[in-house]
Amino acid sequence: MPTTPSASSVQASAALTRADAARASAHTQAPQSVARVDAPQQKPRYGWVDLAKGVSIVLVVLLHTTNFMVGRGLADPIWHEFNAYAQPIRMPLFFFVSGLFVTSAMSKPWGEVLRRRVAPLVYIYVLWTLLRFLYFTFLPETSGTAEAAYWWKPLEAALRPDSGMWFIYALAVFTVAARALRSVSPPTQLAAAVALAVVSPELEFDSWAWHNMLSYFVFFLLGAYLAPLAHRVATGSTVPRMAAVVAIFAGVSMIFRDSDVLRSYTIATIALSMLGLVTGVLLMGRIGELRVLEPLRWLGRRTLPVFLMHEIVLGTVIAGLLGIGVGLAVGQRIPAGPLVVTAIAVAASVGIHRVVLRARQPWLFTLPDRFLR
């Protein structure tokens, strides 16, 4: 299955901050990254869903940190191996969880779907594509992508996403597609989505992001149509079931990685990702309510600012340290180097987001209300 290059898919599911305080049940409404919520009361939420989002965004940041650091000789390439093993869980789980939140949207009028679900995503995508372009253009040493290569890049991004913002782009496209296909039976939709994932590598797209989107659409639809089942599976997860699936996933992954199967057969990557998704749901369901994991659940409710800012933060921190002569090459001998930088990028992104909100500038992360009326 295609993977994000040294850019940043996922998978925010991102989360709009203003939606946090007034969200309907976790399987019947839009994710925080998709729209605001009209329900005035706060309803119970599923801990495993928040945990899945928190874990997914950490894995996304770790992937981009690894790409940034290894590409500059600042971390051991073994981290690429770790990310390769996490790949069948990372984006399938992120898109699946995102799909959990669009079930109700598929029955709403087009006007409401476009205004409250799609417009916020388009706004965030356009705004942060421009902000990232400007930042990386004026401070190219902080960039780990080619999104500031030439001045028309932001215009090109309207049709060919070429950065970590592809995940937001995909959520907008997937939401429109799910609403447009609501008259088609779910089994037919899922079969067609699997077919698209299988043929994706053979299609002549000049965009890795579009290949990724074709590969991951099926997981979004699975979340949209199997929300009740997903919650039953997660809440019914037991230690033996979780351990068995984790062991099977680990064993199959090692077999696949030691052979040419994943490189030769797309259906094998889809099957492994399906197994990774089941593994993720059972694992998150079993540990989703553990008190010690509350920081990750908390983060799962605030994925959008981390998703939008982490590449800027990690690029700026590393470029700054190198600029003052700090010898970061020692990071190759520190196994936890990318983990440390990942933690810094996540914490700084959340901190900057809080400062921005205290400065009363929420427009950086959410579509202003006047555009939703």
What are the tokens at 99? 């799909």
Question: C-alpha 50: how far from its chain's center?
Answer: 13
Model pLDDT, residue 265: 63
pLDDT at residue 332, rounded to an integer: 57
Which residues, 6 or more positions from 297, have their beta carbon under 8 angstroms from its beta carbon? 47, 50, 51, 54, 288
The pLDDT score that the predictor gives to residue 39 is 39
Tokens 């939606």 map to which residue?
19
Token output for 256: 């696949």
Give percent above pLDDT 90 in the chain. 58
Amino acid (one-letter) located at 51: L
The two tokens of residue 183 are 């008259």
DSSP 8-state assignment for residue 58? H
| pLDDT for res 148 | 74
Burial category of 261 from C-beta neighbours within 10 Å (exposed 0-12, middle 13-18, buried 19 and up): middle
**Angstrom distance (rounded) from CA 36 to CA 21:** 10
The runs of H, that is alpha helices, within the chain are 47-70, 78-100, 110-113, 119-138, 153-156, 166-180, 186-199, 208-225, 227-235, 239-257, 261-264, 266-287, 294-300, 303-323, 337-358
- Closest C-alpha to 170, from 102, 262, 272: 102
pLDDT tens digits, the chain, 373 residues: what are they?
444 443 333 333 433 333 333 333 333 333 333 334 343 445 557 899 999 999 999 999 999 999 988 888 788 888 999 999 999 999 999 999 999 999 888 889 999 999 999 999 999 999 999 999 999 999 988 887 777 777 888 888 888 888 889 999 999 999 999 999 999 999 999 999 999 999 888 887 778 899 999 999 999 999 999 999 999 999 999 999 999 999 999 999 888 877 776 665 688 889 999 999 999 999 999 999 899 999 999 999 999 999 999 999 999 988 887 777 666 666 555 577 889 889 999 999 999 999 999 999 999 999 998 877 6
Q: Which run of H or E residues covers position 43?
A: none
Cα distance between residue 14 and residue 204, in whole Å = 29
Q: Which value, to the nearest 10 degrees, does the dihedral of the CA atoms of residues 31, 36, 41, 45 take?
A: 10
Measure the CA–CA gap between 21 and 2, rounded to whole angstroms. 35
**What pLDDT shows up at residue 8?**
38
Q: Is the separation of the CB atoms in 273 and 88 below 8 Å?
A: yes
| Whole-number Å distance between alpha carbons of 51 and 297 | 4
Residue 326 tokens read as 């700090």
pLDDT at 12: 39
308: left (phi over 0), alpha (psi -120 to 50) or beta: alpha
Cα separation, 134 vs 126, whole angstroms? 12
Per-residue model confidence as pLDDT tens digits over 148-169? 777 888 888 888 888 889 999 9
In this predicted structure, what is the pLDDT of residue 21?
35
Coil, strand or helix: which one is 165?
A: coil
Interatomic CA distance for residues 10 and 170, integer angstroms: 9
